[in-house]
Amino acid sequence: MKKYIYLDHAATTPVSPAVLEVMLPFFSEYSGNASAVYAAGREARKAVEKARKQVAAAIGAEPREILFTSGGSESDNLALKGTAFALKDRGTHIITTAIEHPAVLNTCRWLEKQGFEVTYVQPDSRGWISPEKVMSAVRNNTVLISVMTANNEIGTIEPVAEIGRSAHEKGILFHTDAVQAVGSIPVSVNEWNADLLSLSAHKFYGPKGIGALFIRRGTRIDNLIHGGEQERGLRAGTENVPCIAGLGKAIEEAVNHMDENARKAASLRDRLADGILRNIPGVSINGPEENRLPNNCSMRFERIDGEALLLRLDLAGIAASSGSACTSGSQEISHVLRAVGLTEEEARSSLRLTTGPDNTEAEIDTAVQTISDIVKDLRSLYHG
Ligand SMILES: *Cc1c(COP(=O)(O)O)cnc(C)c1O
């Protein structure tokens, strides 16, 4: 029996049983160093190279274009800092958007302190980034465009194929943070003309602390982590073999079951959203009606403090999120909700619910009832 109803799949997901099974031997029987010459090391090396093939196949890349990292944040950091410094002699201007994950946004702010220039393109009210707007920000010293594949707070799917094509025509590198996309929508580095693409295992039923960066062959990029010659000299440190093997299995499963999982998550999400809208007055949806991740439901509740709602939901056994997991807990207002034009109060009254194929209809119905009761209670408490 699950102890709570988990509606925060955009923040993280549990490791699936099949993934765990693949990982376990690499903590014990095959715990050799993947760079060693003895048998246990060779088994570890084999697992790492198998996972590299699995990740490459899932996104339409070649295995040698896949670099293992500690997760989405490191992949984003490496993509941005690594290319910015490697291409400094060509130009110092970067284009990104105002609704990126903090792993991209705060990296860009740091790069600005190092003397790089960054343009932050604003989205429309649905969180959609216009390719024309991106391209009109291009200067003759622009070296990199970074636009996320799909937004983690309001689920907007961005026109990355169009942006990638235009960047390619101008000879500008294109990076996309696809952390929310893998396992939810088809991902193709070639159709999108992506030169760099970030992904993270724990968002698709793999382990935490492992991810990958796709780096197109021939792309100039500097190291973040210096030391040994692992990952073809691009990232030093003994390979995290259990997690790398787990990432490989998780991405294979995510892609194999994508249609079925996405359909299930979307149908549960719709049941949840419809139920809430039917039961509670003064509720609005944040984000787009179309071009939206199948599992994402972001809504705002008039006259409700999102943080209070979240705490009451936790007491009632429902795990959800205010804006994004990365900003909740701090008192900061979601930069995404502000960028799509919500007032401070509207942003503060927002709740993000993200479903997964492991949720049940019964859980969704309980969640709808519980949210309705709590909202009613909070409104009567604070407003008489
Ligand atoms: C979760 C997330 C990240 C960070 O990934 P970690 O593996 O947790 O470091 C980056 N970008 C997006 C869009 C995310 O949702």
Q: Is the CB of 177 under 6 A from ligand 1?
A: yes
Give the closest residue to 215 by CA, choosing from 93, 110, 104, 59: 59
Give the ligand 1 atom nearest the CA of 100. 13
Question: Is residue 297 flagged as an active site residue?
Answer: no
What domains, with CATH codes, occur in the chain?
A: 5-13+258-383 (3.90.1150.10), 17-256 (3.40.640.10)
pLDDT confidence of residue 267: 98
pLDDT confidence of residue 331: 60
Q: What is the mean pLDDT of the chain?
A: 95
Is pTM beyond 0.75? Reply is yes
191-239: per-residue pLDDT in tens? Answer: 999 999 999 999 999 999 999 999 999 999 999 999 999 999 999 999 9
The span from the CA of 231 to the CA of 228, in Å, is 9
Of all protein residues, whose CA lies closest to atom 10 belonging to ligand 1? Answer: 72
Which of 152, 205, 247 to probe ligand 1 with, by most ligand atoms within 8 A of CB? 152
pLDDT confidence of residue 3: 78
Which one of 108, 243, 297, 326 is the catalytic residue?
Answer: 326
pLDDT confidence of residue 344: 94
Give distance in angstroms: CA of 147 to centre of ligand 1.
14
pLDDT confidence of residue 37: 87
Give the ligand 1 atom nearest the CA of 326. 1
Of all protein residues, whose CA lies closest to atom 8 belonging to ligand 1? Answer: 72
pLDDT confidence of residue 251: 98
pLDDT confidence of residue 332: 78
pLDDT surpassing 50 at residue 254: yes
Q: Average of pLDDT values for 5-34?
A: 95
Give the ligand 1 atom nearest the CA of 150. 13
pLDDT confidence of residue 330: 55
Give the closest residue to 111 by CA, choosing from 224, 217, 220: 224
Q: Which two tokens stand for residue 97?
A: 């958007």
Q: Is the CB of 149 under 6 A from ligand 1?
A: no
Percent of the chain clearing pLDDT 90 (strictly above): 92
Q: Is the CB of 352 under 6 A from ligand 1?
A: no
pLDDT confidence of residue 384: 52
Q: Is the CB of 179 under 6 A from ligand 1?
A: yes
Give the ligand 1 atom nearest the CA of 324. 15
pLDDT confidence of residue 348: 94
Give the ligand 1 atom nearest the CA of 203. 1
338-351: per-residue pLDDT in tens? Answer: 999 999 999 999 99
Give distance in angstroms: CA of 122 to centre of ligand 1.
20
Give distance in angstroms: CA of 101 to centre of ligand 1.
7
Percent of the chain clearing pLDDT 70 (strictly above): 96
Confidence of residue 31 (pLDDT cuts 50, 70, 90): confident
Q: Is the CB of 148 under 6 A from ligand 1?
A: yes
Q: Is the CB of 206 under 6 A from ligand 1?
A: no
Q: Is the CB of 146 under 6 A from ligand 1?
A: no
Q: Is the CB of 354 under 6 A from ligand 1?
A: no
Give the ligand 1 atom nearest the CA of 325. 1
Q: Is the CB of 77 under 6 A from ligand 1?
A: no
pLDDT confidence of residue 39: 86
Q: Is the CB of 82 under 6 A from ligand 1?
A: no
